Every structure is written in C-alpha cells, then in structure tokens.
Amino acid sequence: MTTQGKVYLIGAGPGDAELLTLKALRLLQQADAVVYDRLVSPEILALAPEGARMIPVGKAPHNHPVPQDRINEILADLALEGLTVARLKGGDPLIFGRGSEEAAHLRALGIDVEYVPGITAAQGAAAATGIPLTHRGLASGVQYITGHRQADRPLDMDWHKLADPDTTLIVYMGVANIGEIALRLMAAGMPASLPVMAIANATTARETRLLASLGDIAPKIRRSPPDGPVLFVIGHVVSLYQQLDTESLIKEAPADMVAAVAHA
C-alpha cells in the first residue's frame, strides 16, 4: 500500500532566490515533485533536486493553459502517489495566490497540507526600491488589491476607501486595467499628481522601474510596456524615491523607460 504524500504550499518570494526562507529552501530540496507558477523565477527553480518532477502550471493574462481545477487535481494525484509535493507560488501563497483554494480541495480529500509563507511582491519591491510601504507623516497604512477580476469581470471595488490619502495602495496584476484604476481613483478624490512607481520583475536582475504620476501612469505604461509581472505602488511614499540616487537604482531598464523616469 502506498503511503500518502504531503503538499507544501510554498511562497517562493518575489524572485530573488536569496529571499527564500530557510524552510522553503529545505522543503523544495526535499521534494519529489515541484508544481510551479509562471512567477517563480528560474533561479529558484534551479534549486529543485535533480530528478524531481517539474510541472509548470503558470497562468498569464487571457492565457490559462492549466485551469485551477486541473491544478487542484494534479496536486491531489501527486500526493496520492505518495510523493512530497512542493507547490511553488510567487510571493506568498495566501496573498492573491489561491493557496487557500488549493488547500481546501486537498483537505477535502484527506491530504495533508502545510503553508510556508513567503515575502510578498510588495515587500520585495519596497526593499529593492527603497520606497517604504508606510512612513510617518506620509502613510499610516497600506492596502493590497488585485487589478483584475476572474473572467474579466468589472472592477467593483470601494474606490473611495482605496483613495484614502493616508494609506499606500499596492496594485498586483494591474497592467491591463491601470488606466481604469487610475481614473476611478482620481474620481474618488486622489490627485492626478500623486506619485506612482511601477516595478517589473522586482528583486531580480531583470528588474525595471517606471516613475509616473497617477494622471500619466497609463500612457507611460502603454509607451513602455513592461516585460514580466508588474506591481504598482501608489501614494505619497513614492516621493521618497526622489531622495535616493535614481541613476544607481535603475537596473538595466530599456532606454525609453530610463528616459521616462529621468523626466518624470
């Protein structure tokens, strides 16, 4: 009789392999199978043990080759084979990672599941850019939102709450809808001059940054489409980026993006 395996829902962090927790690294290196998302960096995947089954299940906007129901089935099938499964998710599995959905499916089948937290993209981007998420006198709190809805449903959010001038707003997965998001926030009272930072591939060697205002973030993104996952930081804290050595902080950004930052 095959002993049932276990699934570890592991936060792989924002991309830099050195930002993995010790526990995440240990469990990854002990895994028989690694099921990973598109946002997990190649540097982290390279840490998987030789001979482990590597199963990509990543999604991209308007491109879901492996639906969530099928991902749930894959995880269950592997565990029922008796395998130790590392389910790698970008950032943290409990922040826009659908980790709880996968855990619920597995536990309903009697499969053992454990969460392993990771550094979410907002924290990684803050550390990489030097932009704090909170700062005395500028932001007393922070709000995380996702910039899209399942099946492209309308963005039915409490825009007045999100436009709170005393908080920093972090937008995950918002490139496609950043124009609508900016317009709705301004309509709810956010000033068009409020600074915004868009960070792509945060914490990796491929990281790029685009500095803008809420009023012009959408056209700047259209002119310089970022390559890779993007996080938007919206709020007064972004003004602290101006106090840093901007030239030394921009990492291999495309020429048009560098120009946009220099003239923002």
pLDDT of residue 38 exceeding 70, the answer is: yes
The pLDDT confidence band at residue 196, using thresholds 50, 70 and 90, is very high
How distant, in Å, are the alpha carbons of 131, 177, 194, 201, 241 from that of 206? 19, 23, 26, 6, 19
Between residues 153 and 262, the one the model is more confident about: 153
For the stretch 94-138, pLDDT in tens is: 999 889 999 999 999 999 999 999 999 999 999 999 999 999 999
Q: How far apart are CA 229 and CA 172, in angstroms?
A: 9
Please identify which residue in the block is written with the tokens 């999100």.
162
Question: Residue 148: what pLDDT?
Answer: 78
Mean pLDDT of 223-238: 93
For the chain, first and last CA: distance in Å? Answer: 65
pLDDT of residue 59 exceeding 80, the answer is: no
Task: Report the chain's mean pLDDT, rounded to a whole number.
Answer: 89
Question: Residue 89: what pLDDT?
Answer: 96
How many CA atoms lie less than 13 Å away from 69 in the CB half-sphere?
0
Mean pLDDT of 52-58: 94
What per-residue string of b and e applies to 98-129 under the rule 16 or more CB within 10 Å gives b? Answer: bbeebbebbeeeebebebbbbbbbbbbbbbbb
The answer to whether residues 115 and 94 touch, using CB atoms and an 8 Å cutoff, is yes
Annotation says 173 is catalytic? yes
Annotation says 257 is catalytic? no
Between residues 151 and 143, the one the model is more confident about: 143
Catalytic annotation, pick one of 23, 32, 59, 164: 59
Share of residues in the chain with pLDDT > 90 (%): 79
Catalytic annotation, pick one of 89, 92, 173, 197: 173
Between residues 97 and 5, the one the model is more confident about: 5
Domains located in the chain, CATH noted: 6-116 (3.40.1010.10), 121-263 (3.30.950.10)
Between residues 1 and 79, the one the model is more confident about: 79
Annotation says 186 is catalytic? no
